[in-house]
Structure 1
Amino acid sequence: MGALLFASVMILILLGFYVACSFMLALFGILSFFLMIFVAKFLFVYIREVMSKDQRPPVAGPVFSQLIHFSKLFDYQASLAQKYITYRMILPSHSEIYTADPVNVEYILKTNFINYGKGEYHCDIMKDLFGDGIFAVDGEKWRHQRKLASYKFSTKVLRDFSTSVFQDNAAKLVLKVSMVAAAKQMMDLQDMLMKSTLDSIFKVGFGVDLNSLSGSDVFGNQFIKAFDDSNVIVYWRYVDLLWRIKRFLNLGLEAALKHNIKVIDSFIFELIRCKREQMKNKELDRGKEDILSRFLLESKKDPKKMNDQYLRDIILSFVIAGKDTSADTLTWFFYLLCKHPLVQEKVVLEVREATKAQINISADEFAKKITEKALDKMQYLHAALTETLRLYPAVPMDGKHSEEDDILPDGFKVKKGDGMCYMAYAMGRMRCIWGEDAGEFRPERWLENGVFQPESPFKFTAFQAGPRICLGKEFAYRQMKILAAVLVNFFKFKLVDERKEARYRTMFTLHMDQGLHLYAFPRL
């Protein structure tokens, strides 16, 4: 009886194994079949586009070929732009067109602005992280957010309040650097700058003292890491054709993104709750009214439209605009100062001349001397920061979507549904735009008789241009100049490894990979 039972069990196991193997083979066969169809379809589309004589931009390859070059993606695109100033890469559904031609850029961002919005393709990729924030939407939502923000950015109250916050946080940063310098230890200046600018945007934008620079806010530090990692993962979607499947199955990077977004949402919703409580208890100084307060007041008029999820999306847009762009630019700025010590000394001399400050003054006292009048005198510093943005733009590439068939000024045809990207990083390295010394860091190119001379925003695209031009441009310059001036006045900076060339992380904003490791030496 026992032998019969054992034999029956073994037969069932073998039968189950056979059925399982058959199922797996069938599943593998089905997947292989669909993969073959996809490859055949793509090859057909690719060959058709390469052979096209329809005055389309030259084909530089399939979009997913960028996977091979992902760690140096913007340099790869710059090398292609040297060969074809406007080119395209192929997806099964459409072409992605890339341009570094200022004439085309002006046409896309201004002349025919209405035809080139973010589009469904880009919005779908960005939505999980940025939702309906200003950087990921078109139409009425974009106009609504821009109108509210433009009013706030134009007020003298915000300008004066933000200047005071920048001065205070610059002084705090000096104290942090002083402690590390006194111990003769190396520091990651990028990390310090990220925390300092985050503290500033939370105070100015949301009326909250985050104090991430002190390291005391664990929840805030978790938010920073979750947000930065999510930025990288979402950007990876542009070259990962399987990201939707991975999101559905909750696998790999998409699983990590889902976890990070929970951390981000928890932090932001708590911020909204606290701000509402603050406003309810009338603990708001009208002389220091922040940007979030204005959006919350607006939400009372239409709570269904401006719900907490919508406010969360708006807040994240301000975080990436206020933290990442300024901190990234300052990181590359100090890297370039270390590589060009004569420029570093020129900046110091100008700062001290503009402020007329004594050498033994405290950080708080010195920061207060950086007034609007003093900032206006810092023309060389302004040029050096702008030159940094030319070579290392905070947003290295920006993608649009063509709503209708079109023809670019250079004669190339654009089809409805095509992606349209202008490459700020590549443009800063184009000899046909900036001359034979395009690859050199030379702040003097921006000066005429010692006075800063701006370039066309369609040539220097670090702050976008046309209707979407950055509302916080002057806000960003003021923050960067105050932080830079205070730091160079008190410290001389030197790279830990002067032979090492810095690299970036491939993401929406140009973070320096692995940070900026420096030694700081007090200036006498």
Structure 2
Amino acid sequence: MLFLYPIPYFFLLLLPLLSIFFLIKASTPKKQSSPPPTTAIGLPRSYPIIGSFLAAVANRKRQLQWISDILQVSPSATYVLHSIIGTRHVFTANPAIVRHILKTQFPNYGKGDYLTGTLKDFLGHSILNVDGESWKFQRQLASHEFNTKSLRKFIEIVVDTEISDRLIPILSVAAATGTVLDFQDILQRFSFDNICQIAFGFDAAYLLPSLPQTKFAQAFEECVKISSDRFDAIIPAMWKIKKLLNIGSEKRMRIAVSVIKEFAENIIRKKKKELKEKASLDSVDLLSRFLWSGHSDENFVTDIVISFLLAGRDTTSSALTWYLWLLSKNPHVESEVLKEIKEKSKAPVYEEVKDMVYTHASLCESMRLYPPVSEDAKEAVNDDVLPDGTVVKKGMRVAYVPYAMGRLETLWGSDWAEFKPERWLEKEEAENRQWRFVGRDAYTYPVFQAGPRICLGKEMAFLQMKRVVAGVLRRFKVVSAVEEGVEPVFVPQLTSKMKGGFPVRIVERDA
């Protein structure tokens, strides 16, 4: 979450004292609990100079849910949060405004200095952290890896091999021994191996029976967490001071980044050596295409490697983690998914997953409730007025919140809290009355972004997820080992996580 802007240095002495005071006050036991400072209609109170700083501190451990609650009671599902010394930040769950910032006024809403500066240590100048010509160039080159030929190869060779040679054997052993697995960890390993193969032509061999704990994987997790914590900071200047002094989390960040860059540089060196032995660019991976295009700057290419690792590893594993948890709690949905898997089982692998309509709908429904990226912010290049009349000044950040949008009754009806794949389906008029998928427009459901920056890997992600679902559920039942009556905690980092992992038991299905 991105609450506060950088602030003038003469306030640096005052703000830490204020924050310490409010943190102590918020954590002091009271005889009778009282809600955070809000108005009668549920909106946070705003005071002179400090804006809604008090409410932000009081809700620091539930920021995403707090913002979602605010948007549910805000006119036009949009709210301007006032912060320290007059800074303002717009949050929205309004599809018309999402369309405005992601398409209609796309040139006016970019990453901005704040976001790119916060992520620069981790993502550098990669496609996930730049605008303009550099973004266009990277996107154009990357787009070649998402054609039908590449997608078919990805599913039939990379994903299917990883499932049959690594994932299924691990699940078989767990089923035979009664072992409790952290399925979130398993899925992250699976996705990591997949993205390394398709993007870099490199087998990371991370999903092995021993479930190796590699230095790189630990460093990657560290960078994701600390980068997310930077955005969550009540006073953003504090992480910059820690970085300057090379202490605490920022010291750990520097060490972790060096480990990741070393890993990426090793992949690049091996790829360069491999390309020297090739006479032409034939069947290649994404990394080869970037190197072949003339970009031999290792820092630039390293940034690209890291960004695709983040996009390919964490988003699909996050989506599948929450999906399998929802299936375990909704056996009627699991039954319908399993029925479809059996119906498609004799089709070739690519056609099987491409035509899984009900499973596709259930994945969309799962990501509505638990989007892999819960919030995305843009920064205004020039002054603007949003469709609902909200005034945006140059330099202000406007964030759309898919997590909140998936919970709006005005968009999804009074049953929005239900896991209901049928809301994405309708019966065909033909005699066999098969399900037909009915999607929502990308601005009502911006889980994969929308407009010019819509996710290039959207189709690849769906194919990968459906293949995993079919490959796993055909042979096994995934039983949640989360304590009965306890809902896992949604952690909104750069990509969402299930706090503490997803413990499961694997049960072999009857043949």
Q: What TM-score do you get using the length of structure 2 for normalisation?
A: 0.85
Residues 132-177 of structure 1 deviation map (CA, whole Å, 9 limit, x = unaligned): 1111111111111011111222251453244321111122211111
AA aligned opposite 1:258 = R
Q: What TM-score do you get using the length of structure 1 for normalisation?
A: 0.83
Tell me which residue corresponds to 1:214. Answer: 208
Match of 1:115 among 73, 85, 108: 108
AA aligned opposite 2:88 = S
Offset at 1:33?
8.4
Q: Structure 1 CA distance, aligned partners of 2:57 and 2:278? A: 52
Give the conservation status (yes or no) of the 8 Å contact 1:226–1:263. yes
AA aligned opposite 1:498 = E
Give the conservation status (yes or no) of the 8 Å contact 2:384–2:391. yes
- 1:127 to 1:437, Cα distance in 2 relative to 1, 3 A: same
Report the secondary structure of 1:464's partner residue.
coil
Report the secondary structure of 1:441's partner residue.
coil
Q: Does 1:264 align with 2:250?
A: no
Tell me which residue corresponds to 2:274. Answer: 278
Report the secondary structure of 1:238's partner residue.
helix
Residues 33-75 of structure 1 deviation map (CA, whole Å, 9 limit, x = unaligned): 86248989xxxxxxxxxxxxxxxx9969546854543443221
Tell me which residue corresponds to 1:249. Answer: 245
- 1:191 to 1:435, Cα distance in 2 relative to 1, 3 A: same
Q: Structure 2 CA distance, aligned partners of 1:121 and 1:260? A: 22
Tell me which residue corresponds to 2:468. Answer: 483
Report the secondary structure of 2:97's partner residue.
helix
Within a 5 Å distance, the mapping from 1:26-425 to structure 2 comes to 35-36=13-14, 62=52, 65-84=55-74, 85-89=77-81, 90-92=83-85, 94-154=87-147, 156-171=149-164, 172-214=166-208, 221-240=214-233, 241=235, 242-282=238-278, 286-287=282-283, 289-298=284-293, 301-303=294-296, 307-356=297-346, 371-425=349-403
- 1:83 to 1:97, Cα distance in 2 relative to 1, 3 A: same
Q: Structure 2 CA distance, aligned partners of 1:143 and 1:451? A: 35
Q: Percent identity?
A: 37
Q: Structure 2 CA distance, aligned partners of 1:83 and 1:59? A: 16
- Comparing 380-389 and 73-82, the one that deviates more: 73-82
Report the secondary structure of 2:207's partner residue.
helix
Residues 162-195 of structure 1 deviation map (CA, whole Å, 9 limit, x = unaligned): 4321111122211111111110111111111100
Q: Greater Rg, structure 1 or structure 2? A: 1
Q: Structure 1 CA distance, aligned partners of 2:345 and 2:108? A: 47
Report the secondary structure of 2:378's partner residue.
strand
AA aligned opposite 2:79 = Y
- 1:100 to 1:284, Cα distance in 2 relative to 1, 3 A: same
Gaps of 5+ in 1: 1-30, 41-56, 357-368
AA aligned opposite 1:248 = L
- 1:285 to 1:163, Cα distance in 2 relative to 1, 3 A: farther
Match of 1:498 among 459, 464, 484: 484
Q: Structure 2 CA distance, aligned partners of 1:34 and 1:75? A: 29
Residues 243-275 of structure 1 deviation map (CA, whole Å, 9 limit, x = unaligned): 111111112211111111111111111111111
Q: Structure 2 CA distance, aligned partners of 1:183 and 1:216? A: 15
What is the alpha-carbon root mean square deviation over aligned residues?
2.4
Q: Which has the higher helix share?
A: 1
Report the secondary structure of 1:214's partner residue.
coil
Q: Structure 2 CA distance, aligned partners of 1:33 and 1:463? A: 39
Report the secondary structure of 2:498's partner residue.
coil
Q: Structure 2 CA distance, aligned partners of 1:272 and 1:250? A: 29
Offset at 1:231?
1.1
Gaps of 5+ in 2: 1-8, 19-43, 428-434
- Comparing 269-278 and 388-397, the one that deviates more: 269-278
- Comparing 251-260 and 407-416, the one that deviates more: 251-260
Residues 308-334 of structure 1 deviation map (CA, whole Å, 9 limit, x = unaligned): 111111111111111111110000000
Q: Structure 1 CA distance, aligned partners of 2:226 and 2:17? A: 25
Q: Structure 1 CA distance, aligned partners of 2:278 and 2:64? A: 48
Which has the bigger relative contact order, CA under 8 A and spacing at least 6?
A: 1
Q: Structure 2 CA distance, aligned partners of 1:111 and 1:88? A: 21
Offset at 1:346?
1.2
May I ask how many residue pairs the two structures share in their alignment? 459
AA aligned opposite 1:294 = R
